[in-house]
Chain A
Amino acid sequence: MKDYFHSVTLDDSKCKGCTNCIKRCPTEAIRVRKGKARIIAERCIDCGECIRVCPYHAKKAITDPFENIYNFKFKVAIPAPTLYGQFKNARSINHLLNAFKLIGFDHVYEVAKAAEIVSNATKELMRKNNLQKPLISSACPAVVRLIQVRFPNLIDKILKLESPMELAAKIVKDELVKSKNIPIEDIGVFFITPCAAKVTSIKAPYETEKSFVDGAISIKDIYLKLFNALGEVKEGAEEDLVKAGFTGIRWANSGGESLALGTENFLAVDGIHNVISILEELENDKLEDVDFIETLACQGGCLGGPLTVENLYVAKTRIKKFIDAAKKNNIPDNSDDIFRYDLLWKGNVEYKPILKLDEDFEVAMRKLEELQAINEELPGLDCGACGAPNCRALAEDIVRGNANETDCIFKLREKVRNFTVQMMDIESTMFPVSDGKDKQNKDQND
């Protein structure tokens, strides 16, 4: 991977240096230094937990400003299905898609449609190849990065298929080039995203060398524009834009991807800490009866992403209504579409050993022993005052040369107390032998 790009960043002016984000980070990637939170680039997986949990809204995701669409002659929006649950005033999905055309986009293509194609390809792949089960979905980029960093034994179990977002961009660019003769450089495809990890996928993809998507606009940023535009779309005057059926829309929910496969043997888990416990079970070979594992970093699935506006549960209910409506409309899925695109990853993802203390085994052993020794001397309160998430992490930081024992307030107090006691000892034994003045006073007072 090139230089670490992370879409999760900090607004220094709002950061208070509290302990909320350092404690919630699943890879212990944050430390507080000089009163501000600092992310360790190698350990960050862009899951967005810190964005979710920061009470001062200091953590942000870098997304493209809406104005970037004007860099392109032909502007296309590819909305994540999560968007469909965000608006109280959307009568139907078609209504929402029409609104895009009123805010500056020339065309809109649903990621949900691409998701259906990916589901079909997944079904084919699971049926044809004798891949060792269970297979882990690669839909959530934060989880793929989590596996790289913490569960390297599971890298081979990842289902290496293109994401619906990439496929959507490919399809729409192809269609426009063929049907409207627009040169490909003039087409700007923008993903409307609930998620920081997806932004990183666009700017620094692991599947291909370059993404087909030209930018990512967060749902937060586009919300007001769409909200207003929805009011302007006349009820009778809607263009027929919907292409995706209910299986694609359901991907926004946790479990949606699995249900699209039509297999009973699946396990869907959401919430990054829950994902970690399931992956640990999988690492111990404990999940044998499962064919497919859907792992989503955000609680509730993408509907619970850090860049959404609507409350997760309200959005779930809204999307359910749209899913039911879509079921009734019975939109056909064109499964012959999958044969036009090769959906397999071109490259692979590698192991990123962040826990390793040293390249040299012997040196690592000495550091490990030192770490244990230091840890035993620390109070074990995990208070976070030193800027590390817990005492053990501080011990690791010290051994790596990134921190001092005196960063721990309790060790510092201990040292100050010992020092004071020593000073008092010396003072009590100090005899005015060679201080001239003192001797004079002593003689006078005698």
Chain B
Amino acid sequence: MGLSNNIIRQSYVIPADDFSLAGEASSSVKKMLNQLGVPPQTVKKVAIAMYEAEINAVIHAGGGTADVEIGKGKVVVVISDEGPGIPDLELAMKEGYSTAPDSIREMGFGAGMGLPNIKRYADKLDIKTEVGKGTSVEITVFL
């Protein structure tokens, strides 16, 4: 972890296909924000938005990385992967639309609420995606 220019930077690996570990990165970030004294409502926004993006990376993209920057009045989380990419972003943002495989739905995930939830909790959301190359989801929550 690094602190420079009053910004804390931390990176996490999101492991592929390991559901029991999914959510560890967002949990760790939640704890950090609590240690920094960030108000609970704000912590909740970051935690949920990041958790959903993390789970997406596990379900659809075979894992990825999470880069978190805290400071200068905001928390910025970038979750990037080298997965299949999202062909129709507008469709993916619709509530209830899901491309999760059956095995995932059997576990109770894949309700199609991931991206819409991220949009609901993040103050700013920027998704860059390219089919066949990967996806990067940038979540900003203001402190």
Question: In this complex, what residue of A is CB-closest to B9?
Answer: A369
Q: Which of A153, A351, A355, A359 contacts B35 (CB 8 A)?
A: A355
Q: Are A284 and B48 touching (Cβ within 8 A)?
A: yes
A359 surroundings in chain B (CB, below 8 A): 37
Q: A256 at interface (Cβ–Cβ under 8 A)?
A: no
Chain B interface mostly: helix
Q: B36 at interface (Cβ–Cβ under 8 A)?
A: yes
Q: Are B47 and A355 touching (Cβ within 8 A)?
A: no
Bound CA–CA A285/B111 (angstroms): 14
Which one of A68-76, A338-346, A360-368, A404-412 is at the B interface? A360-368
Q: Are B37 and A361 touching (Cβ within 8 A)?
A: yes
Given that A356-B37, A357-B37, A368-B8 are contacting pairs, would A283 and B44 also be in contact in the complex, using a CB cutoff of 8 Å? yes
A284 surroundings in chain B (CB, below 8 A): 23, 47-48, 51
Given that A355-B34, A357-B36 are contacting pairs, would A365 and B71 also be in contact in the complex, using a CB cutoff of 8 Å? yes
Q: Are A362 and B6 touching (Cβ within 8 A)?
A: yes
Q: B31 at interface (Cβ–Cβ under 8 A)?
A: yes
Bound CA–CA A371/B36 (angstroms): 12
Question: In this complex, what residue of A is CB-closest to B27?
Answer: A280
CB distance from B118 to the nearest CB of A (A): 12
Bound CA–CA A241/B9 (angstroms): 66
Q: Are B41 and A364 touching (Cβ within 8 A)?
A: no
CB distance from A235 to the nearest CB of B (A): 55
CB distance from A20 to the nearest CB of B (A): 25
Q: A353 at interface (Cβ–Cβ under 8 A)?
A: yes
CB distance from A365 to the nearest CB of B (A): 6
Q: Which residues 8-49 of B have a CB within 8 angstroms of A?
A: 8, 23, 27, 31-32, 34-37, 40-41, 43-44, 47-48
Q: Are B8 and A365 touching (Cβ within 8 A)?
A: yes
Q: Which of B2, B36, B44, B117 contacts A364 (CB 8 A)?
A: B36
Bound CA–CA A228/B104 (angstroms): 60
Q: Are B40 and A351 touching (Cβ within 8 A)?
A: yes
Q: A372 at interface (Cβ–Cβ under 8 A)?
A: yes
Q: Are A368 and B47 touching (Cβ within 8 A)?
A: no
Contact with A along B30-74 (1 / 0, CB 8 A): 011011110011011001100100000000000000000011000
- Interface pairs (16), CB distance under 8 Å: A152-B40, A283-B44, A284-B48, A351-B40, A353-B34, A355-B31, A355-B34, A356-B34, A357-B37, A358-B37, A365-B6, A365-B8, A365-B70, A367-B35, A369-B3, A396-B35
- Using CB atoms and an 8 Å cutoff, list the residues of chain A in contact with chain B: 152-153, 280, 283-285, 351, 353, 355-359, 361-362, 364-369, 371-373, 396
Q: What 4 new A-B contacts, CB under 8 Å, besides A351-B40, A364-B35?
A: A153-B41, A356-B34, A364-B37, A365-B3
